Amino acid sequence: MNDYGELLDESTVRFERLLAGPIERVWSYLTESDKRAQWLCGGDVETVAEGHVDMHFHNLSLSSAEDIPRPEKYKDMPEKMSFEGKVTRCEPPRLLEHTWEFEDESSLVCYELTEEEDKVRLVLTHRRLDSKDIVLSVSGGWHTHLNLLVDVLEGSQPRPFYKMQQQYVSEYEKRLGLA
């Protein structure tokens, strides 16, 4: 398995990770605000079709002492950002799909969980990305956040957020031919 995201088409990126289980535990890190805030964002997820999704990002809270300062690219953005979405499909503890509403764009994120012995395979697919810049940003961002999920589930010290994120954005520029 390759940790790097795969571009399925010009507006869809897909990631796979093999995570420490059991599946119910991984599901809780996708749907419970306090656990999700440790690797992605806080906010409530109503785990029913048409349920509301709150996403409260504070990436500085994911950083450790070894991290680099907040990159120049993000200096004009607020430290905390919130987005909303709507659950489009939910089959606990195996599938969660929701919209991701950002300004005037609406993309779609799907988390699929499959048990594999004592591990859980996560397949994350992010669709309806509007531009190459967004594909690049989403690819580097998901790669970083998924690495943090791995760290949290394994009980490891989370890696420095912005240091990783900068590295992966650069990698994806090359990998996706966007440099």
Q: How far apart are CA 112 and CA 81, in angstroms?
A: 26
Mean pLDDT of the region 97-121: 94
In this predicted model, what pLDDT tens digit does every residue of 137-171 receive, in sequence order?
999 999 999 999 999 999 999 999 999 998 998 89
**Correct CATH for 6-175 of 3.90.480.20, 3.50.50.60, 3.10.180.10, 3.30.530.20:** 3.30.530.20
**Which amino acid type is present at position 38?**
Q
**How far is 2 from 4, CA to CA, in rounded Å?**
5
pLDDT, the chain, mean: 92
Give the global pTM.
Answer: 0.93
